[in-house]
């Protein structure tokens, strides 16, 4: 296959992956947010210093972890909750690098895309790179689809416990 055609197909696959990643991540994080809100508003969830529902991803995951550790109602799904939290943490790095790194630079060599990201931490610029091989796209997409399904399963359990009577 001519190189230009292969490059076009690779770019189409990259676009498909990024699009599906955005859709799946948005769905999973929204379900996580609704689940955390339900636990918070149930009156049984642990109290937070701010008195408000956690908003940032890290705060939502920490709150969900505290709920799983302290709420008897969640004891039967604690292993699922802990795995979900771990999966969110692992995939958030990939998502962050692709979504925000893509805005900085994209280089493509033989089906491998490099995403560069310039960060500023403590007034020092750093550069980090993540590489994605087009052959790994389906694997990555599957992980994000599973994250969405697992988040829905935990959320559904919580909603059944507190709101569907």
The DSSP line for the chain is --HHHHHHHHHHHHHHHHHHHHHHHHHHHHHHHHHHHHHHHTS-SPP-TTSS---SHHHHHHHHHHHHHH-GGGGGGHHHHHHHHHHHHHHHHHHHHHHHHTTTEEEEETTEEEEEEEEEETTEEEEEEEEEEGGGHHHHHHHHHHHHHHHHHHHHHHHHHHT--
- pLDDT tens for residues 109-144? 777 888 777 777 788 888 777 888 878 888 888 999
- pLDDT tens for residues 3-49? 677 777 777 877 888 888 899 999 999 999 999 999 998 877 788 77
């Amino acid at each position: 296959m001519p190189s230009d055609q292969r490059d076009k197909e690779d770019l189409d696959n990259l676009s498909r992956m990024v699009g599906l990643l955005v859709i799946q991540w948005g769905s999973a994080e929204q379900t996580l947010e609704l689940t955390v809100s339900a636990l918070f508003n149930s009156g049984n969830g642990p109290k937070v210093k701010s008195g408000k529902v956690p908003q940032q991803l890290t705060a939502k995951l920490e709150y969900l972890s505290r709920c799983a550790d302290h709420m008897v109602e969640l004891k039967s799904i604690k292993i699922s909750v802990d795995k979900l939290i771990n999966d969110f943490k692992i995939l958030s790095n990939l998502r962050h690098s692709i979504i925000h790194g893509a805005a900085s630079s994209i280089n493509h060599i033989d089906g491998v895309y490099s995403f560069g990201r310039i960060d500023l931490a403590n007034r020092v610029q750093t550069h980090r790179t993540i590489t994605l091989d087009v052959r790994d796209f389906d694997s990555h997409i599957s992980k994000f689809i599973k994250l969405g399904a697992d988040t829905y399963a935990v959320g559904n359990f919580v909603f059944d416990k507190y709101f569907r009577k």
